[in-house]
Amino acid sequence: MSEYRWTPTPEYIENANVTRLARRHGLRGIDELRRHSVADPAWFWNAVLDDLGIRFATPHTAVLDLSRGIEHPDWFCGAELNIVDVCLRRWRDSGPDRIAVRHEAEDGSTRTLTFGELAEQVAATTAGLRRLGIGRGDAVGLYLPMIPEAVVAVYAVAALGAVLVPLFSGFAAAAITSRLTDADVKTVVVADGTVRRGRTVAMLPQLEAALADCAGVEHLIVIDNVGAPTDLRSGVNVTSWSELTAAPADLVTERVPAMHPLMLGYTSGTTGRPKGAVHTHAGFLVKTAGEVAYSFDVTSDGVFCWITDMGWIMGPLSIIGTHANGASLVLYEGSPDVPDNYRLWDLVERHRISMLGVSPTLIRTLKGTDLAQIRRRDLSCIHVLGSTGEPWDPDSYGWLARDVFGSRVPVINFSGGTEVGGSFLAPYPVEPIASCSLGGPSLGMDVDVVDDDGNSVRGQVGELVCRQPWPSMTRGVWKDDQRYLDAYWSRYPGLWHHGDFAMVDADGQWFVLGRSDDVMNVAGKRLAPAEVEAALSTHPAVSEAAAVGVPDPVKGEAVWAFWVARPGASVDDVAIGRELTAIVGKELGKPFAPSKVWRVDALPKTRSAKILRRTIRAAALGTDPGDLSGAENPEAIDRIREAVSAQSSTVMESR
């Protein structure tokens, strides 16, 4: 079967938000808009404000000021605002009965909030936090699953001019402690627990254990989500969510400068002290609003859902970006394959989701399901599919776009990060999109691929950089400006260095090939894990795969591969291992064929379904895997370690 490619219809192009933006400025289509947005970024970001009707309480006098250097830009100079006024107040005033939030729990129960109801709850919560002494500049931690109270808490903290510190709902105590301490958090909002895969997961005990080493935390606000015990011995002041929000209040927001901190987004899965990326009211608002409007083509009657967690950047991006456009947000609390692999499609049908965000790993997990069963669900509401976080393989990409959705909707595969506050690269639904491609530079993003000397390269692997600033670029690393400069600006002076390998092919399509420190160097050639994994995934017995590089005295690095069997597949480990080695050798060349192949029951992943390759490599080599706080299934790491050890023992015995 030929490789899938999205081709937009004339009607799709005509009705797209990004087409409207281009025509408002006399530009002919996405290519011309891309060029103009990079030639004059200040013009572009100002145009976004106008097109999406975003108004600051105090207008800006200049869009961009680089007097402190490219590393420290100031955006929307002189402006004052509060993100709550743009995302909530204006929709409450114009359409209070429209649905703002739809929530579904794993057991199928649902809740909804209109914009009017959401505003009432935010007002009461803001007043409650103010009574506790929380105010402008104070850091508030959010240790919450994807529940409506998470949205309320985000807006209530922002309304005060306080600083959000979202935490991954699966974090253990040590990971929580490091982030609360680094951010000087005074108050934490926590759910007593959540339900995942039919099991109640207590969250409050993890937080209480973390508080033993967090002297700065003064208040704990507990949400009764699953009815778990809430007896605490931490010594902090404990207030129930119901008590905090009991008194009705007017919605009062603190007017803050455009670059006032909104949120600290901590990078996950790293060793050592975590990095807190600083995002601002105006910067994060404008970038995420444009992302949802132009990349995902969401309008005020759209329904946006991303399968994610509040602790990852996609959690806050989903809330702010959706509501900046007046659309409805669907939150799913639970595992997307419970009670079966049709849950995701049932979610779409029930809530009439128009923009669905998934990960490639999730789709690889679902790929073996019966298409006839999927097609019994009414998925006609889907207008756009979103994806981020990791590379695709053509088989899974084509299965989703062509087999499930009949080639009628685009896959907007975008790449950015916590520090970016959105995307660097993204295709747009009005342009042809090759399978697995990231399209090209996101609007307003002057990205490039360069060699070791900083020269632009095409048709070969290079480092992903950005040549100009953008509004949601982190203001730095919290309390450590030198670390910020070292991390992003020291490799290529004057260029933001993102730490990803990328390539632009002969057709101008962009591909991110993985983190620089994930990429293997085999016989002097850079080899991205995604290239090997895509080849492995073409085998009919393989559900998903991971490839890592290990030291090799001849090649420098050799490839080791791990694969998970597709449900119901006939499995002969030795025979399939040989076939997988041959497939990679044929696709990529014999020097890059895996020297060892293992079948495992599962690959370790984050809650957002990203494969933890560095952790796999550490487990295979018997070294310290580092921070596992972001792992959804840490037991998979032990199974990999055991599998490699068992094979090594067998080899030793045979000698």
Measured between alpha carbons, how far is 20 from 26 in angstroms, rounded to an integer? 10
Q: What is the pLDDT of residues 500-528, one digit of tens each?
A: 888 898 888 898 877 766 777 787 666 77
Read off the pLDDT band of 389 (50, 70, 90): confident
pLDDT at 2: 61
pTM for the complete prediction?
0.85
Q: What is the pLDDT of residues 149-189, one digit of tens each?
A: 999 999 999 999 999 999 988 777 888 898 999 999 999 99
* Region 445-457 average pLDDT: 95
pLDDT at 346: 98
Measured between alpha carbons, how far is 308 from 288 in angstroms, rounded to an integer? 16
Q: Which two tokens stand for residue 168?
A: 């991954």
Under CATH, what is the fold of the domain 517-654?
A: GMP Synthetase; Chain A, domain 3 (3.30.300)
Q: 200: Cβ–Cβ under 8 A, 6 or more apart, which residues?
A: 193, 194, 226, 228
Structural contact between residues 159 and 251, judged by C-beta atoms closer than 8 angstroms: yes
DSSP 579: H
pLDDT at 517: 64
* Region 391-405 average pLDDT: 92
Using only the alpha carbons of the chain, give its radius of gyration.
Answer: 24
pLDDT at 630: 67
Measured between alpha carbons, how far is 35 from 230 in angstroms, rounded to an integer? 56
pLDDT at 649: 47
Query: Where is 321: in which H helix or E strand?
Result: helix 314-324
What residues are paired with 123 via a beta bridge? Answer: none
Query: Residue 527: exposed, middle, or buried by beta-carbon count in 10 A (0-12, 13-18, 19+)?
Result: buried
The domain locations on the chain are: 89-335, 517-654
**What 3-state class would DSSP assign to 243?**
helix
Measured between alpha carbons, how far is 601 from 615 in angstroms, rounded to an integer? 16
Q: What is the mean pLDDT of the chain?
A: 91
89-335 with 517-654: one CATH topology? Answer: no
Cα distances (angstroms) measured from residue 469 to each of 50, 64, 75, 158, 465: 20, 9, 10, 24, 11
89-335 is a CATH 3.40.50.12780 domain:
yes
Structural contact between residues 544 and 564, judged by C-beta atoms closer than 8 angstroms: yes
Q: Which two tokens stand for residue 317?
A: 């991006």
Structural contact between residues 109 and 226, judged by C-beta atoms closer than 8 angstroms: no
User: Given the structure tokens 């020269």, which residue do they identify?
Assistant: 455
Q: What is the pLDDT of residues 512-571, one digit of tens each?
A: 877 766 777 787 666 778 778 888 988 999 988 999 999 888 777 899 999 999 888 888
Tell me which amino acid residue 587 is. Answer: E
Read off the pLDDT band of 627 (50, 70, 90): low
Structural contact between residues 513 and 501, judged by C-beta atoms closer than 8 angstroms: yes
User: What φ, ψ does residue 440 adopt, rounded to 5°?
Assistant: -165, -170
